[in-house]
Amino acid sequence: MNKLAIAIHGGAGTITPASLTPELEKAYRGALSRALEDGYRVLTEGGTALDAVELAVVRLEDSPLFNAGKGSVFTKEGKHEMDAAIMCGKTLEAGAVAGVRSIRNPIRLTRAILEHSDHVFLSGYGAEEFARKYDVAFEPEDYFYDPYRYQQWRDVRDTDVFMLDHSKERKFGTVGAVALDASGNLAAATSTGGMTNKNYNRIGDTPLIGAGTYANNTTCAISCTGHGEFFMRAVVAYDVSCLMEYKGYTLQQACDLVVMDKLVKFGGEGGLIAVDAAGNMALPFNSAGMYRGCRSTETDAMVAIYKD
């Protein structure tokens, strides 16, 4: 049997032991473990990497702890606008959405786009129209309501401040997953609610193929989290892939250069998760912490939050 591997993240930022109560830390570890196990089970049961990353992200979107799906932060208008992308490393097919509202699981919508659309990237009302056509589930406004998130937004809504998910106090994050399946295929998926109090219908790196999300069987699958503007300008995910393909770097070498050197010099706080076609995994981050987990046929399940 070929090697199987999956890695997940729930966001990166200034996450320290002091910033989480023991109860909250336990809740995060539990949510990460369940998403990891559900995604890994897809792989052991012979499912595709695409199915595994989709399910792992759905589990994280359904948790109120993370800034995606149910837990999405409030925009300046007091709404929820979500971005997501999914990519298949075998075919390089992809689906992405920006600025969608009321969609229970934006990652399921990106999968429908990958499967059924000639387009890759849909946005706003148009993406929602596509969702209705393919029976992607909607939820009423109050599904996305969370008292903490509401207070977080109330604190800054009349200012021009926008908050990165993890740049202040209690931390919430973009979610993502990458996987290698038994057929040797890679896939990546990322989903986010963006920045608290964001305005102007800002789009971040999450839904941009090559920036926040990328998969290619030749090299690796990548899902990013962090200060999206810097990740976009640095084309982070495809940069890791190109360092492997064009310079012969290992996955770890490529991730270390991009996340721990180039992004640090550039001022781009955050991290990523990555898996290559041989099942090697890397989960680098240059912030204080990153909600993360991984498991493969050769390594036990690992869930972590802070730096080692």
Asked whether position 135 contacts its own copies by CB under 8 A, the answer is no
Token reading at 115: 């499967």
- In the complex, least distance from residue 242 CB atom to its own copies, rounded to whole angstroms: 4
- If the CB atoms of residues 213 and 296 are measured against its own copies, the closer one turns out to be 213
Asked whether position 288 contacts its own copies by CB under 8 A, the answer is no
Q: Which stretch binds its own copies (CB under 8 A): 2-10, 24-32, 139-147, 196-204?
A: 196-204
Q: Which of residues 7-66 bind its own copies (CB under 8 A)?
A: none
Host H or E run for residue 252: helix 251-255
CA distances for 250 relative to 17, 184, 242, 256, 302, angstroms: 32, 17, 11, 10, 22
- If the CB atoms of residues 65 and 109 are measured against its own copies, the closer one turns out to be 109
Cα separation of 103 and 106, whole Å?
6
**Unique residue bearing structure tokens 């966001």:** 11
- If the CB atoms of residues 33 and 253 are measured against its own copies, the closer one turns out to be 253
Strand order across the 281-282 sheet = 213-215, 220-226, 270-276, 281-282
Asked whether position 189 contacts its own copies by CB under 8 A, the answer is no
- If the CB atoms of residues 78 and 126 are measured against its own copies, the closer one turns out to be 126
Asked whether position 240 contacts its own copies by CB under 8 A, the answer is no
Task: Say which residues have a Cβ less than 8 Å from residue 128's Cβ, sequence separation at least 6.
Answer: 100, 101, 102, 103, 138
Asked whether position 120 contacts its own copies by CB under 8 A, the answer is yes
SS3 276: strand
- If the CB atoms of residues 146 and 239 are measured against its own copies, the closer one turns out to be 239
Sketch the per residue contact string, 197 through 216, with its own copies: x for CB under 8 A, - otherwise: -xxxxxxx---xxxx--x--
Residue of 254, 190, 245 lying closest to 218 (CA atoms): 245
Is 174 annotated as catalytic?
Answer: yes
Which residue in the set 5, 15, 65, 243 belongs to the binding site for its own copies (CB under 8 A)? 243
Q: Which of residues 60-79 bind its own copies (CB under 8 A)?
A: none
Cα separation of 215 and 45, whole Å?
22
SS3 193: coil
Asked whether position 233 contacts its own copies by CB under 8 A, the answer is yes
Cα separation of 50 and 292, whole Å?
19
Sort strands 94-100 and 121-123 into parallel, antiparallel or unpaired.
Answer: parallel
Which residue in the set 44, 45, 78, 125 belongs to the binding site for its own copies (CB under 8 A)? 125
Catalytic residue among 48, 174, 192, 225: 174
By the criterion CB under 8 A, which residues form the site for its own copies?
87, 92-94, 98-99, 117-127, 129-130, 162, 198-204, 208-211, 214, 228-229, 232-235, 238-239, 242-243, 246-247, 266
Which residues are part of the catalytic machinery? 174
